[in-house]
Amino acid sequence: MALRLSLSPPPIRSSASPSWAAPHSIAISCSSSSSVGVSVPTQEKRRARVVVRSSSIDTAEAVVGQVTEVNKDTFWPIVKAAGDKAVVLDMYTQWCGPCKVMAPKFQELSGKYLDVVFLKLDCNQDNKTLAKELGIRVVPTFKILKDSKIVKEVTGAKLDDLVVAIETVRSS
């Protein structure tokens, strides 16, 4: 079974329509094995790719150019799916003031470094085991992984240090 879905942006009141205003098609296919695939035209792939199988988390991917929220169940599958790309993880809590200050800056970085996967992990009770496994001591903590291994760490709300760490890992 296949379904084609067309998405169109809201009407624009300008005489010049930007390129993103054109309708986009997304193909959704279902197989007998309960898997669902979503494919997006080539020019849109930079912004979206989703694959879901059954109700379990067999495959997980982050969206390039955005920060993806992860938890104890989705973190490692996404890191492994990133392959040799650098992965930057923002480990935060809801009550942390410096974490709230860094959140929009972290989002901006995800739009700047399109060859890097940006993730965030709420270090709450549900994710406590993963936070301990990753060695968190303070929030915010930023872990940078390459090939599923932690290669850099930045603690505290230090944007400049984080940028230097990302640049270092990208160039290695």
Which residue numbers are catalytic?
A: 96, 99
Name the helix (H) or strand (E) containing 16. Answer: none
Contacts of 49 (CB under 8 A, 6+ apart): 38, 40, 61, 63
For the record, the structure tokens of 1 come out as 């079974």
CA distances (Å), origin 149, targets 24, 59, 87, 101, 144: 37, 19, 10, 27, 8
Tell me the C-alpha distance between 91 and 87, whole Å.
13
The three-state secondary structure class of 60 is coil
